[in-house]
Amino acid sequence: SNSIDLAVIPGDGIGPEVVAEAVKVLRRATEGGVEVKLTDYDLGASHWLETGEVLNDDTLAAIRQHDAILFGAVGAAPGDTRIPSGLIERELLLKLRFTLDHFVNLRPAKLYPGVPSPLSHPGDIDFVVVREGTEGPYVGNGGALRVGTEHEIATEVSINTAHGVERVVRDAFARAAERERKKVTLVHKHNVLVNAGHLWRRTVESVAAEFPEVSHDYMHVDAATIFMTTDPGRFDVIVTDNLFGDILTDLAGAVTGGIGLAASGNINMDRTEPSMFEPVHGSAPDIAGQQKADPTAAILSVALLLEHVGLPEAARAVERAVEEDITSRAELTDERSTAEIGDAIVSLVA
């Protein structure tokens, strides 16, 4: 395509800082070939404090008209009592993921050459987590009774549908089939969560039959955290539910050099709605406004976006630029500002 029309939601905290750099790289990577139209949407905790609104129907309808969404991060500082915890996350971020049916939450984990891992023996780490994005305990099917009393009961019910599990498992196998090692690992906890766990396991078995070239295995999520720290090189494609995938991908980010490098795509594989690309990290209130955030995760999310909108060459150019910048970091004391890292990557896009 030679034009793309994107919604940009910078959000809160470091969100606008990293998105500014991601946009610079996006412009450079598409320069001279693709017309890029960007529309900013001011949404998030700050917007709610100013207006009392999280996401109104008109804004949601407008966002749906774009080809894709670039998202920074939203959310208040944990100690900020003016904003109810979960309000912005549920009513903005999760509302977008659910309404736009982002059933594949794709989170690659790759240890680039030269990047220091906190692991003493990291080995070759190059896997992707295919996290289910529309179901599980995230759906908000729960409630609280007798709140504040000693008889309070709080429930969060995990929803797993045959349709929802099958489409994400099929996506994981299809991705594995395109990769060198062609291996899918289902991560769940079917020794305890027998209802959902067995649905996932049966689904993997039946989808696996359609992909004879792809091997598959299974790991309980607690054991997966062991192997992700002792032998992460064993993973190729991990498929898992929404909550396990959330937790595992922060860990995956940490072992591959830090959450400042971890990118993600919330993808509607049916392409009936715009997909949304965002760093895995949050608004990082502890470093916000100081140009201390690493914009690389947001920039790598732009690469995922470009790939999705049919610009694989531009995507590769961004990835190569990031890889080149990252590889040189071992020698830097990395005191660079957010903008300095962004500018360095822009200058490497060829």
Which residues participate in catalysis according to the annotation? 138, 189, 222, 246, 250
153 within 8 A of 160, measured Cβ to Cβ: no
Kindly state whether residue 246 participates in binding Mn ion, applying the rule CB under 5 A: yes
What would the two tokens of residue 92 be?
């903005």
Q: In whole angstroms, how close is the CB of 284 to ligand NAD at the nearest point?
A: 4
Task: Tell me which of 16, 46, 68, 75 binds ligand NAD, using CB under 6 A.
Answer: 75
Binders in 93-122 for ligand NAD, by CB under 6 A? 93
Answer with the entry of ligand NAD, ligand IPM, Mn ion, none that 94 interacts with (C-beta below 5 to 8 A by kind): ligand IPM
In degrees rounded to 5, what are phi and psi of residue 105?
A: -100, 100
In b/e form, how buried is each residue of 139-178, taking b as 16+ CB within 10 angstroms?
beeeeeeeeeeeeeeeeeebbbeeebbbbbbbbbbbbbee
282 within 8 A of 77, measured Cβ to Cβ: no
Reduce the secondary structure of 16-47 to three states and give it as a string.
HHHHHHHHHHHHHHHCCCCEEEEEECCCCHHH
Binding flags for ligand NAD, 278-317, as an x/- string (CB under 6 A):
x--xxxxxxx-----xx--x--------------------
Kindly state whether residue 89 participates in binding ligand NAD, applying the rule CB under 6 A: yes
Compare residues 165 and 261 and give the one whose CB is closer to ligand NAD. Answer: 261
Which amino acid type is present at position 344?
A
Q: In whole angstroms, how close is the CB of 75 to ligand IPM at the nearest point?
A: 6
In degrees rounded to 5, what are phi and psi of residue 98?
A: -80, -50
Compare residues 231 and 250 and give the one whose CB is closer to ligand NAD. Answer: 250
Kindly state whether residue 73 participates in binding ligand NAD, applying the rule CB under 6 A: yes
Q: How many CA atoms lie within 13 A of 252 on its CB side?
A: 30
Binders in 271-290 for ligand IPM, by CB under 6 A? 280, 282
The residue nearest Mn ion at its CB is 246
Binders in 68-97 for ligand IPM, by CB under 6 A? 75, 89, 93-94
Binding flags for ligand IPM, 311-330, as an x/- string (CB under 6 A):
--------------------
Kindly state whether residue 323 participates in binding Mn ion, applying the rule CB under 5 A: no
Q: How many residues bind ligand IPM (CB under 6 A)?
A: 7
192 within 8 A of 201, measured Cβ to Cβ: no
Task: Tell me which of 21, 67, 126, 246 binds ligand IPM, using CB under 6 A.
Answer: 246
Q: In whole angstroms, how close is the CB of 237 to Mn ion at the nearest point?
A: 19
What would the two tokens of residue 296 be?
């690389």
Work out whether strand 215-220 and strand 104-110 pair parallel, antiparallel, or are unpaired: unpaired
Nearest-angstrom CA–CA distance, 103 and 137: 14
Q: In whole angstroms, how close is the CB of 15 to Mn ion at the nearest point?
A: 14
Report the interface residues with Mn ion, using CB under 5 A: 246
Write out the residues near ligand NAD by the rule CB under 6 A: 14, 18, 73-76, 89, 93, 259-260, 278, 281-287, 293-294, 297
